[in-house]
A and B are shown apart, each in its own frame.
Chain A
Amino acid sequence: AQSVTQLDSQVPVFEEAPVELRCNYSSSVSVYLFWYVQYPNQGLQLLLKYLSGSTLVKGINGFEAEFNKSQTSFHLRKPSVHISDTAEYFCAVSNTGGFKTIFGAGTRLFVKA
């Protein structure tokens, strides 16, 4: 069975500071990994995804994530955050060829001025 653990439920950070949102997964098979963002009162939208190849994945809005197979992690980073990055961030996993995505519990990123 697959599972996703987001290690921080809330991350407060000052504007222009760097941020890392942590995600660990478990799976007995090859996985595809995703980060989605949910702005207040909206649906989710994809930030980035890892399918194969380079372990460093770049996404929209200056975010990037690194797939680490040995540590079963897929942490999300941004070197300098903006107030507009305040949102809920979800790490997710899906297995090869499947129709099911498992989402983590979410991390609320709160950017302060």
Chain B
Amino acid sequence: DTAVSQTPKYLVTQMGNDKSIKCEQNLGHDTMYWYKQDSKKFLKIMFSYNNKELIINETVPNRFSPKSPDKAHLNLHINSLELGDSAVYFCASSQERATDTQYFGPGTRLTVL
């Protein structure tokens, strides 16, 4: 069983479209994260959720809206996609704090044309 899964794995879309990425963890963790990895492999946190509540929002444009319907899911919706949104997006989870081991999903490669 995959611990942290993301769908889709690849997403190719046009500028201005709206898209969603889904994430699910079956580890029973309380905290989930979204990270963005750019073409130079730089990994930056976007959001942290603990028990379905937003804890960290790293000055992400409000075109990005995370939603956590329950502790096992953290979805990412992106409105009005821009070229600069092209990246690999990783979902992760940890037992509670960021000091706990984080388990990463396989990533979603988003390409905006």
Contacts and interface: CB of A to CB of B under 8 A. Distances in A.
Contacts of B44: 103
A51 B101 CA distance: 11
A22 to B, nearest CB: 17
Contact-size category for B? 20 to 34
B55 A46 contact: no
A44 B99 contact: no
Contact of B99 (A32, A42, A88): A32
A3 to B, nearest CB: 12
B14 to A, nearest CB: 24
Nearest to B45: A100
Nearest to A42: B106
Interface string B26-47: 0000010000000011111100
Interface in A2-40: 32, 36, 38
Which residue among B31, B41, B106 has the maximum number of chain A CB atoms within 10 Å of its CB? B41
B102 A106 contact: no
Given A90-B43, A106-B42, A99 B48 contact: yes
Contacts of A38: 41
A97 interface: yes
B97 A43 contact: no
Contacts of B99: 32, 51, 94, 96-98
Given A88-B41, A90-B43, A105-B41, A99 B97 contact: yes
Contact of A43 (B50, B56, B107): B107
B12 interface: no
The 9 A-B residue pairs with the shortest CB-CB distance, nearest first, are A43-B104, A99-B48, A94-B98, A103-B43, A99-B55, A44-B104, A32-B99, A101-B98, A106-B41
Given A43-B106, A96-B99, 10 more contacts: A32-B99, A41-B107, A43-B92, A44-B102, A99-B31, A99-B55, A99-B56, A100-B56, A105-B42, A108-B41
